[in-house]
């Protein structure tokens, strides 16, 4: 009896034990819903990136007008917002380490759209890379942690002050400042520098998005979480990190091809999201060693696939600005007067020769 009564005496319970008790198994229907929402969102993001790139190309051909005056560019931004909103909702249904790898869908869709929309060629490496990426994504989804927590304000506060997250945040801020110094002050315009800036911001975005989405979900279920200050702190972090992430991503799209930006963004974003899920939400806690190995193997396959898709990707063909239209060839009126019987195809042939010469000069350069 003494032992029995002692078991019911309230004992000091650590915060980790209290929060571990909130971990529940997600039903399969919830996982499928999160996966479907994430896939749709990533397809929209891929379409939006290619639209923005096409808007940049068209604005460069037309003249000096800034890209943000283009209606097409704003359509791309709007689609990106809708796609990110879909990803936002998906994080409320499944762990970040499960949703993030589904960005592979964006890579494959971007390659397909680039072929159809931007007139790029399909290579054997694209097919092999797409196959590897899909296989890797399947392994990631299969062996990812299938547990999630009820994201409450108290849980987020507990995670935010943990020593491992504070150390992670310190390192991330330090690296971000160094990269920003190289990018702004030293004028290092390398794609890896820009995409690392996006990835570091994306790490904070994943943490804040899952926190805000989870607290909104709990509030809808009846446990009001919007009255806690941590909700608005995470909301501000989410908005700010998303805004700067879009800014750097748009700069990358302006300087580099979409087929370069999208795969590298997928790799860096996936890695940062997985690390954020491990460090902040402790999603790999209690995961079997086999699951961890297969999960990392899936990451490797996905990364290899997207780099095969991006490797030696041909540049987007742009019309030469120095190309002279057939009706604007100098001396045409004088030639018409001197040789009235000349065939009209003469000017078409001359224009074709001029275009070929210009294309040849562009290839040589």
Compute φ and ψ for 180, nearest 5 degrees.
Answer: -65, -35
Q: What are the DSSP E strand ranges found in the chain?
A: 23-25, 147-149
Stretch 168-177: mean pLDDT: 96
Q: pLDDT digits over 70-97, tens only?
A: 788 888 888 888 887 887 888 877 788 8
Instruction: Report the pLDDT value the prediction gives residue 297, as an integer from 0 to 100.
Output: 92
User: How far is 222 from 235, CA to CA, in rounded Å?
Assistant: 20
pLDDT score for 237: 95
CA-wise closest residue to 41 among 196, 154, 209, 180: 209
What sign results for the dihedral spanned by CA atoms 348, 350, 354, 360? positive
The Cβ-side half-sphere exposure at 222, using a 13 Å CA radius, reads: 0
Per-residue confidence at 345, pLDDT binned at 50, 70, 90? very low
Q: Are strands 23-25 and 147-149 parallel, antiparallel or unpaired?
A: antiparallel
Segment 274-302 shows an average pLDDT of: 88
How many CA atoms, within 13 angstroms, populate the side-chain half-sphere of residue 216? 15
Say yes or no to pLDDT of 138 above 60. Answer: yes
Q: How far apart are CA 196 and CA 182, in angstroms?
A: 12
Lowest mean pLDDT among 4-18, 133-147, 270-284: 4-18
Q: What's the pLDDT score for residue 312?
A: 60
pLDDT of the residue at 167: 96
The band of 64, judged by pLDDT with boundaries at 50, 70 and 90, is: low
> Does position 115 have pLDDT exceeding 90, yes or no?
no
**End-to-end Cα separation, the chain, in angstroms:** 90
Instruction: Give the three-class secondary structure for 24.
Output: strand
Decide: 141 and 101 in contact? Cβ < 8 Å. Answer: yes
Mean pLDDT of 339-356: 40
pLDDT in tens, 237-247: 999 998 999 89
Tell me the average pLDDT across 14-21: 46
Q: How many CB atoms lie within 10 A of CB 316?
A: 16
CB contact set of 55 (below 8 Å; sequence gap of 6+) = 67, 70, 72, 73, 76
pTM of the predicted structure, to 2 decimals? 0.68
Burial 148-177 (b: 16+ CB within 10 A, else e): bbbbbbebbeebbeeeebeebbeebeeebe
- The residues near 257 (Cβ < 8 Å, ≥ 6 apart) are 53, 313, 315, 316
What is the average pLDDT across 264-292?
87
**Average pLDDT for 12-30:** 50
């Amino acid at each position: 009896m003494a032992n029995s009564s002692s078991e019911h005496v309230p004992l000091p319970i650590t915060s980790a034990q209290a929060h571990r008790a909130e971990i529940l198994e997600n039903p399969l229907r919830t996982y499928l819903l999160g996966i479907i929402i994430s896939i749709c969102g990533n397809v929209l993001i891929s379409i939006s990136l290619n639209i923005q790139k096409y808007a940049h190309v068209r604005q460069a051909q037309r003249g000096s007008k800034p890209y943000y005056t283009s209606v097409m560019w704003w359509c791309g931004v709007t689609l990106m917002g809708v796609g990110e909103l879909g990803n936002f909702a998906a994080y409320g249904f499944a762990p970040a380490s499960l949703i993030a790898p589904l960005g592979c869908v964006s890579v494959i869709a971007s390659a397909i759209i680039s072929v159809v929309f931007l007139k790029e060629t399909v290579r054997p490496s694209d097919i092999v890379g797409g196959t590897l990426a899909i296989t890797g994504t399947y392994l990631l989804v299969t062996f990812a942690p299938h547990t999630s927590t009820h994201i409450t304000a108290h849980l987020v506060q507990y995670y935010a002050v943990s020593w491992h997250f504070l150390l992670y945040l310190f390192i991330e801020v330090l690296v971000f400042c160094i990269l920003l110094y190289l990018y702004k002050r030293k004028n290092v315009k390398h794609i890896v520098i820009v995409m690392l800036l996006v990835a570091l911001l994306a790490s904070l975005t994943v943490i804040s998005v899952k926190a805000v989405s989870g607290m909104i979900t709990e509030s809808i279920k009846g446990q009001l979480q919007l009255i806690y200050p941590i909700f608005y702190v995470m909301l501000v972090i989410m908005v700010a990190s998303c805004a700067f992430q879009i800014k750097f991503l748009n700069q990358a799209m302006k300087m580099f091809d979409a087929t370069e930006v999208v795969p590298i963004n997928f790799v860096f974003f996936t890695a940062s999201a997985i690390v954020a899920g491990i460090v902040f939400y402790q999603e790999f806690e209690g995961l079997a060693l086999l699951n961890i190995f297969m999960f990392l193997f899936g990451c490797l396959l996905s990364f290899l696939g997207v780099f095969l898709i991006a490797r030696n990707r041909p540049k987007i063909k742009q019309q030469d600005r120095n190309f002279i239209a057939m009706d604007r060839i100098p001396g045409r009126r004088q030639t018409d007067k001197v040789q009235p019987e000349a065939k009209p195809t003469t000017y078409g042939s001359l224009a074709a020769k001029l275009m070929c010469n210009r294309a040849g000069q562009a290839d040589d350069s």
